Chain A
Amino acid sequence: MAINRWIQSGNYRRSYKEDQTIFATFSEQASLIVFLIFLALVPHMPFMNRQLFRVVDLAFIYTIAVMGLNIVTGYAGQINIGQAAFMGVGAYAAVTITRDIATPLFQFGKTLPFWYIIILLPLSGLVAALVGAFVGLPSYRLKHLYLAIATLAFQIIFTWGVGHSPFLNQGGSIRIARLDFFGTVIKGSKTIGPFFYYFALIVLIIMAIAMRNILRSKYGRALIAVRDNDRAADAMGINPGLTKVYAFAISGFFAGVAGAIFALYNGSVIVESFSLSTSIDFLAMAIVGGLGTMVGSLIGPSFMLFLDPFVEKFSGFAQTIFPSTIDVATAMRPTIFGLIIVLFLIYEPRGLANWWRLLRQYFWRWPFKY
């Protein structure tokens, strides 16, 4: 009997190879392709302005960093309160490699040729991965909150260290040249917005595919094993310490790539972009999206970043109700974001990804109820 893979309500796979596929049905694959086409068309929509481009571009860049955070925190179960610092390592690596090595070596002028990013992004990621592995070393001995404190310590050391390195301009802005995309210099928000939309999106897709593949391979399973039961993982021939360290390294790589794109996007790097509060924002994005789910790290950052302008408007409105002596507006934003995180932790600890799962199941079974 031929199986219609467009509509199927159960698992009809016939080989182990088929069972490895990511998508259950052709219709899911098709809807993903439609969604990607939609994403590709978005920059041409009339409503896209500079502000929206910035929100979306930043969402893409942060998504890459949050994917990494989800690998170490969601899948490997190690709390990481320093993801912004890893992103900072990537950004500073990109800037210093360009300034001190690539520019003299390749005789770059005022712009960077586009092919250079093929070297720069992986290299920045690699530097951040090495730092990530180093910061992850205490996970051989430390667990849970103690490890979280170690990552927090890294965040603090990073901010302090950059602030005290003349080499890094003491955290003040360091310039990185703009890209030259086959003759077009990517500068000015009119071109930067759409260009980095596609650029970050493509990198994001590549990273997402890599993440998906890692997760369905033995390396991904090992992460989950260490999270669920590191004693048993040990007995399965998995080295729990090493697994945690490489989880940190992968996470660092993602953050590093995000940091390098962030640096190219802004044209300069400043230490304040990689502060503790950004790290906590990343954690919040991962939690709201859904820890330990691939989809969660894709939805979380966009949700939080798009929410921000609304909260801003709302807190401005709230301030008009209260007398000006009470600074409600200042309290409003952190309160609302705090509240969202707490509500998610209590009522939907699996995050937005769970809503997505339920939605997907609904369509999968349609027209049946179950």
Chain B
Amino acid sequence: MSEKKSQLVIDNVILSFGGLNALTNVSIGIESGAITSIIGPNGAGKTSLLNCISGFYKATSGSIKFEGIELVGKSPYQISKLGIARAFQNIELFSGLSVLDNLMLARHTHLKYSFFESLFFYGKCQNQEIINREYVEGIIDFMELEEYRKAVVGELSYGIRKRVEMARALTLDPKLLLLDEPMAGMNLGEKEDIVRFILDIKAERDIAVVLIEHDLGVVMDISDYVYVLDFGMKIASGIPDVVAKDPAVITAYVGGESLI
């Protein structure tokens, strides 16, 4: 994979917390329209890397460029506006609101009306709300959340909330979707649903997906490219078949045997 084609270029990123390096000289390129997985044992720095990309952590040094724009030093909301959406590992929904309102919130930057127009809620403001509501309904349809539309998020089951979390990230209409363990704690049926959604996202919406996942079976099945982190360092990268046979990866994971 050539670096030039990459949508997101992470170059020599170091993230340290008071002398302890969470990430050490990590360089990764993420291609547009592909599914890129980042795997590694617990504590390898996967979520820290996502936090650096989405702006919750500021990389100590190095650069992260999205379509040529430097992300280091930008706030999460600015990065979100550039077209990078994120679904959190621990569900971070607005629990007091309905599914619909959660998704409408993700349309915040797409609702183009001013504060004064909102005071009257008429004309432009109302049209904008309707247009974006239609968009949200599209996502609800896509993520098969119709029956939960008006349900308060806090009262939904874990699996559904995970799905809402993903739907919300998708509602942002991103160019790059960061999914942090979207299948954690799910049963097989639910996992299959999520896998189907991820493949559909890539196929129908042409959105690049960065996936962090522990289920290596799923990762190896659906990823176009895989990076392996261990102790904050990139230890391997390549297409799934290559990575699975990489001795460094095997050592990191199980200390010898083959992965699949």
Instruction: Check if B172 is an interface residue, CB within 8 A of chain A.
Output: yes
The answer for the CA separation of A16 and B129 in the assembled complex, in Å, is: 9
- Return A23 CB to nearest CB of chain B, in Å: 14
Are A237 and B118 closer than 8 Å at their CB atoms? no
The answer for the CA separation of A237 and B169 in the assembled complex, in Å, is: 11
Contact with A along B40-78 (1 / 0, CB 8 A): 000000000000001110000000000000000001110
Are B121 and A235 closer than 8 Å at their CB atoms? no
Interface-forming stretch among B23-31, B92-100, B155-163? B92-100
Are A213 and B121 closer than 8 Å at their CB atoms? yes
Instruction: Check if A210 is an interface residue, CB within 8 A of chain B.
Output: yes
B130's contact among A16, A220, A229, A246, by CB below 8 Å, is which? A16
Q: Which residue of B lies closest to A238 (CB)?
A: B108
Are B118 and A239 closer than 8 Å at their CB atoms? no
Contact with B along A197-233 (1 / 0, CB 8 A): 0000000000000100110111111101100110111
Instruction: Check if B215 is an interface residue, CB within 8 A of chain A.
Output: no
Interface size class of A (residues with CB under 8 A): 20 to 34
Task: List the A side residues contacting B54 at CB < 8 Å.
Answer: 235
Are A236 and B119 closer than 8 Å at their CB atoms? no
Are A214 and B119 closer than 8 Å at their CB atoms? yes
Are A216 and B130 closer than 8 Å at their CB atoms? no
Task: List the A side residues contacting B111 at CB < 8 Å.
Answer: 217-218
Instruction: Check if B120 is an interface residue, CB within 8 A of chain A.
Output: yes
A213's contact among B106, B118, B150, by CB below 8 Å, is which? B118
Interface-forming stretch among B80-88, B237-245, B246-254? B80-88
Taking beta carbons and an 8 Å cutoff, which residues of B are in contact with A?
54-56, 75-77, 80-81, 85-86, 88, 92-97, 101, 104-109, 111, 113, 115, 118-121, 125-126, 129-130, 133-134, 137, 150, 168, 172
Extra pairs beyond A17-B130, A236-B80 (20, CB < 8 Å): A16-B133, A20-B121, A213-B118, A216-B121, A217-B111, A218-B107, A218-B108, A218-B111, A218-B118, A222-B105, A225-B97, A225-B105, A228-B94, A231-B76, A232-B93, A233-B94, A234-B56, A234-B76, A236-B105, A239-B75
A-B contact pairs, 20 of them (CB 8 A): A16-B130, A17-B126, A210-B119, A213-B119, A217-B111, A217-B113, A218-B108, A221-B97, A222-B105, A224-B96, A225-B94, A228-B95, A231-B92, A232-B94, A233-B94, A234-B56, A235-B86, A236-B168, A237-B80, A239-B75
